[in-house]
Amino acid sequence: MPATNAPLATIRTAERPRPDRPSEDRVFVIANAVVVLDGASQPEAGERNGGWLADTLGRDVAERLSHSHDDLRQILADAIAAVAKRHDLKPGAAPSTTVSIARWNDEVVDILVLGDSPVVLLDRDGGLHQVRDDRLHQIASHQRQQLKRQAGYGFGFDDRDRWQTLVDAERSHRNRPGGYWIAEAVPEAAAQAVSGRWQLEDVAATVMMTDGVSVGVSRYRRPSDWRSAVEIAMADPAGLVNLVHDAEAEDPDGIRWPRTKRHDDKTLAVVEHHHG
């Protein structure tokens, strides 16, 4: 996607869907904000899947960001409520999506993360700051490991029964205390998002990604660390996306890195903040 120039930042994005189905990732860019979403894959077929919710909710959030200065949690809560009402979505039965938002003005950079689409900030002194929400991965670990053990005999998502078992286990913990919080049909989930604020003058760049990209560092060690990932992303966003994809391609049967999918959707956004 071409760069989008704004008075305070240059924004570049890169996307690569998994080869076998349309991407359920979405990225939305306005002059002073970026929204990255990763819709959850689900076994039941239908138009209202995770990608549909990521697209529908992302558009609503981006529209609100374009004319509202409200707190990011409030903007997300209002968007979830509006989409749920408009489409009659029911808590626990609706598709879900992660949501990460970066918004900046002349003074500050605000970050919100709900679900496992992390954000990494590079400050002007070279320090790295991660904003991440890993609560989902602490839920239903037994069912997730069962899916991963299918590696070498077909990936876990090829087994629809076990996949459905995982989805059911996750849904039983969704958007409730002691579980995990995600964008679905419960506006109150937005209040549980992880957030951070930095002075704009201290921030060099903001790097946002879905877990299809972040797993490159956290699991594959491709690249080996977050500093290398940020450097690659700033030089060539598509280069980081392709590096992670190529790592998965080197392990086509999931032997080295047991996982539920051979390839995941990958979306990356790089915001370089300019200073006078």
pLDDT digits 0-9 by tens, 172-231? 889 999 899 999 999 999 999 999 999 999 999 999 999 999 999 999 999 999 999 999
Q: What is the per-residue pLDDT for 275?
A: 79
pLDDT digits (tens, 9 = 90+) for 229-260: 999 999 999 999 999 999 999 998 888 887 87
Q: What is the per-residue pLDDT for 3?
A: 42
Contacts of 34 (CB under 8 A, 6+ apart): 11, 13, 27, 28, 101, 102, 206, 208, 269, 271
Instruction: Decide if 213 is inside a domain.
Output: no
Instruction: Decide if 65 is inside a domain.
Output: yes
Contact criterion met (CB below 8 Å) for 189 and 182: yes
Q: What is the per-residue pLDDT for 159?
A: 64
CA-based diameter of the chain, in Å? 57
Contacts of 162 (CB under 8 A, 6+ apart): 143, 146, 147, 150, 156
Q: What is the per-residue pLDDT for 139?
A: 74
Q: What is the per-residue pLDDT for 155?
A: 54
Per the structure, the count of domains in the chain is 1
In this prediction the pTM is 0.92
Length of the chain: 276
Q: What is the per-residue pLDDT for 214?
A: 98
pLDDT digits (tens, 9 = 90+) for 41-62: 876 767 899 999 999 999 999 9
Q: What is the per-residue pLDDT for 45?
A: 64
Instruction: Decide if 218 is inside a domain.
Output: no
pLDDT digits (tens, 9 = 90+) for 24-47: 999 999 999 999 999 998 767 678
Q: What is the per-residue pLDDT for 40?
A: 92
Instruction: Decide if 161 is inside a domain.
Output: yes
Q: Is the pLDDT of residue 5 over 50?
A: no
Contacts of 123 (CB under 8 A, 6+ apart): 129, 198, 202, 203, 204
Q: Is the pLDDT of residue 262 over 90?
A: no
Q: What is the per-residue pLDDT for 157?
A: 56
Instruction: Decide if 225 is inside a domain.
Output: no
Mean pLDDT value of segment 68-77: 97
Q: Is the pLDDT of residue 16 over 70?
A: yes
pLDDT higher at 183 or 6: 183
Residue 58's φ and ψ, nearest 5 degrees, are: -60, -40
Q: List the domain range (segments joined by +) for residue 26.
A: 17-206
Instruction: Decide if 10 is inside a domain.
Output: no
Comparing CA positions, the residue from 35, 41, 2 lying closest to residue 238 is 2
Q: What is the per-residue pLDDT for 163?
A: 66
pLDDT digits (tens, 9 = 90+) for 118-173: 999 999 999 999 999 999 887 766 555 665 555 444 455 566 677 677 777 778 88
Instruction: Decide if 67 is inside a domain.
Output: yes
CATH assignment of the domain containing 85: 3.60.40
